[in-house]
Amino acid sequence: MTAPRIALGAFMLESNAHSPIATRAEFAANYLQYGQDILRDLASDAPSGPKTLSGFWESMNASGPWQPLPLLGAAVSASGPIDHAFFLEVADGFESRLRAAMPVDGVFLSLHGAAIGTGEVDPDGVILERVRRVVGPDIPIIATLDLHANVSRRMVDAASVLVAYRTNPHVDMAERGEESAGLMREILAGTKPTAAYVKLPLIPPSVTQNTKSGPYADIITYGQSKVDARVMNVSVVSGFSLGDTQKNGMSITVTTRNDAALAQSLAKDIARTCWNDRHRYVPKLTTLEESTKLAVACGRDPQKPALLFADVADNPGGGGRGNTVWILEAFHKAGVEGALLGVFYDPTLAAEAHTLGQGGRFKARFNRDETHPLSGRFEAEAEVEGLHHGSIVGRRGISAGHTIMLGPMALLRVGGIRVVVISVRQQCKDTAMFEVFGLDIAAARSVVVKSRGHFRAAFDLLFSDDRIVEVDVPGLTTPVLTRVPYRDVPRPIFPLDPEMSWSP
Ligand SMILES: [Zn+2]
C-alpha cells in the first residue's frame, strides 16, 4: 500500500444535560467545515480545528505517503444536548461523504465522546457505528476521545482503537493525534487490535480530575505502566460528570495487539485499582463569602500575593453559560480593587459597548437577554476601556497556536474590576483573552476566571496552585454532585450512593 487512503473527520461536543440545546449556529460560530476546507485549515498558521486532527495530520505527513480524504468537522467546546435535526445532518454528512470517498484504507475521527442529543442518547456511538457500516469489519477506525468522554460499549465495539487524552488540562491533544497516526500505520502494516472495556459506577467531580497530582494522576500513571510490546493503548477515562445519561461514569479501555484475554484482565485490574481509590475524589471549595474577603484583602494590600479565583460552577468548557453574576456582584459590592474578570458571555452587552465606543460610560446591564435562572442579573456603572473583533490566537495552554473565536469583545471597567465580555461562549483558557486589551495580568491583585481547570495550563506561570481558589457558587457545572438534578444516570453510582459496593 504505497499511499493509504485515510478518511478524516471531527465531531466534538461535551453535552451538559441541563444546559440549553447545542444548535447548528453554535457549531458554525466555533468550527464547522467540510471537505477540502478542513485541509486548508490544517495547513494554516493557526488552525481552528481540533488539535488531535492537527497532530494526526502532521504525523501522517511526516511518516510517509498517504492520501487524506477530509469528510466533515463539527466542534464546539461544551454545550447542551445536540439538536436532533443538526445531529442527523452531521451523521448523514459523515456517511454520504465517506461513501463518496470509498474505497478507503482507514478512518481517523477526532471525537469528544460525551455528546448527548435531543433525539439520540449516544451520538458518538452512532457516528462510529455508521462509519463502521460503510467501511466494513476489516478497515481500521481510530478515534481520539477527550478524557471527559462518557464511553459506551457501542463506541468500543465500532472502533478499532479509542485513544483518550491523558492530561487534564488537556495539553496532550496533538500527541494523541500523533499516537493515532502511529497506530494507523502499524495496523495498516498488519497488526490486529483487540479491545476490552470496563465501565465503573463512579462519577468523579470535575475539580478532582487534575492529572498533575491526586487520585486521577495516580490511576493514569498506573494505566500507562501497563503499556508495552503487547499493549497498544490504555485509556483511563474519567468521564463527564454532568452528562446525566446511562453512559455516565469512568471507563477503562485497553487495546492489545490481538490478545483478548490480556486486554480483559488488564482492564479489570485497572478498574479495580481505580474503584478502591474512589474515596479520594473529593472537591475542596471555598465559599463566596470567604473568597470575597480574600479578594478585598488582596486589593488593599499590595504586599499580599495576588490570587486567582476559579468560577468552577460556571465553566463554559463544561456547558456553563459563562455569565453567572455571583462573583462579580459580590466583589463589586464589597469594593474589590485591582481585579480582572473574564470571560463573561454577553453578546448584547458586547454589542452595546461597540456602539458606545471606547471611553463610553453607561449603566451596564449584565444578562438582560439571558433566561437561565442560575445566571442571575447585575447592573452597574461602567466604562468601555477596550474593544476587539474577537478572533484571537491562543498564546499558552490548551489552545496555544490555535485560533479561538470569541466574537466581538469589550473590556469594561466596573468599579475596581475590569471585565472582559465576549459574544461566543468560551471558557477562560488563555491569557491572551486579557492580553489582547494590553492588560498586564501580573499587575492585577486578583483574577477571576470562568473555567473549571483548563486555565491552569495558561496561567501557571502567574499563579502557582497554592494561589488558586476554587469558589463555591451556583452554576450549571457545580462539582458538588449532590446539587446536580440527575435523572438518568445508572444507580447505584458513587458518590451519589456512597455505601454501594462493586467489582468488575
Ligand atoms: Zn475534557
Q: Output the average pLDDT for the chain.
A: 97
**Rounded to the nearest whole angstrom, what is the distance from the C-alpha of residue 356 to the centroid of ligand 1?**
37
**Rounded to the nearest whole angstrom, what is the distance from the C-alpha of residue 166 to the centroid of ligand 1?**
10
Print burial letters for 199-231: b (CB count within 10 Å at least 16), e (below 16): bbbbbbbbbbbbbeebbbbebbebbeebeeeeb
List, as ranges, residues with CB under 5 A of the ion ligand 1: 146, 148
**Rounded to the nearest whole angstrom, what is the distance from the C-alpha of residue 387 to the centroid of ligand 1?**
30
Q: Indicate the pTM of the whole model.
A: 0.93
First-to-last alpha carbon distance for the chain, in angstroms, is 41
What is the mean pLDDT of the segment spanning 435-451?
98
What is the mean pLDDT of the segment spanning 188-217?
96
| pLDDT single digits (tens) 233-248 | 999 999 999 999 999 9
Q: Whose grid coordinates read 491569557?
A: 431
Q: What are phi and psi of 431, to 5 degrees?
A: -65, -25
Q: Which residues, other chains included, contact 91 with Cβ-Cβ below 8 Å and sequence gap of 6+?
A: 123, 126, 127, 130
Q: What angle do CA 226, 230, 232 make, to 5 degrees?
A: 70
**Rounded to the nearest whole angstrom, what is the distance from the C-alpha of residue 79 to the centroid of ligand 1?**
12
**Rounded to the nearest whole angstrom, what is the distance from the C-alpha of residue 113 to the centroid of ligand 1?**
10
**Rounded to the nearest whole angstrom, what is the distance from the C-alpha of residue 170 to the centroid of ligand 1?**
7
What is the mean pLDDT of the segment spanning 47-64?
97
**Rounded to the nearest whole angstrom, what is the distance from the C-alpha of residue 455 to the centroid of ligand 1?**
12
At residue 1, the pLDDT reads 67
**Rounded to the nearest whole angstrom, what is the distance from the C-alpha of residue 239 to the centroid of ligand 1?**
8
Q: How confident is the model at residue 181 (pLDDT cuts 50, 70, 90)?
A: very high
**Rounded to the nearest whole angstrom, what is the distance from the C-alpha of residue 15 to the centroid of ligand 1?**
11
What is the mean pLDDT of the segment spanning 204-228?
96
In 102-230, alpha helices (H): 123-135, 153-158, 173-188, 215-224
Q: Whose grid coordinates read 500505520?
A: 185
Query: Hey, what's the cell of 297?
Result: 484583602
In total, the chain counts a number of residues equal to 504
**Rounded to the nearest whole angstrom, what is the distance from the C-alpha of residue 191 to the centroid of ligand 1?**
30
At residue 77, the pLDDT reads 84
Q: Which of 160, 164, 151 is nearest to 131 (CA)?
A: 160
**DSSP letters for 110-129:** EE-SB--BSS-S-HHHHHHH
At residue 2, the pLDDT reads 84
**DSSP bridge partners of 102:** none
What is the mean pLDDT of the segment spanning 183-191?
98
Query: Hey, what's the cell of 268?
Result: 479489570
**Rounded to the nearest whole angstrom, what is the distance from the C-alpha of residue 148 to the centroid of ligand 1?**
5
What is the mean pLDDT of the segment spanning 128-144?
98
Give the C-alpha separation, 350 to 334, whole Å.
Answer: 25
Check pLDDT > 90 for residue 392.
Answer: yes
In angstroms and rounded to an integer, the radius of gyration of the C-alpha atoms of the chain is: 23
Q: How many CA atoms lie within 13 A of 334 on its CB side?
A: 23
Give the C-alpha separation, 169 to 176, whole Å.
Answer: 14
**Rounded to the nearest whole angstrom, what is the distance from the C-alpha of residue 463 to the centroid of ligand 1?**
22
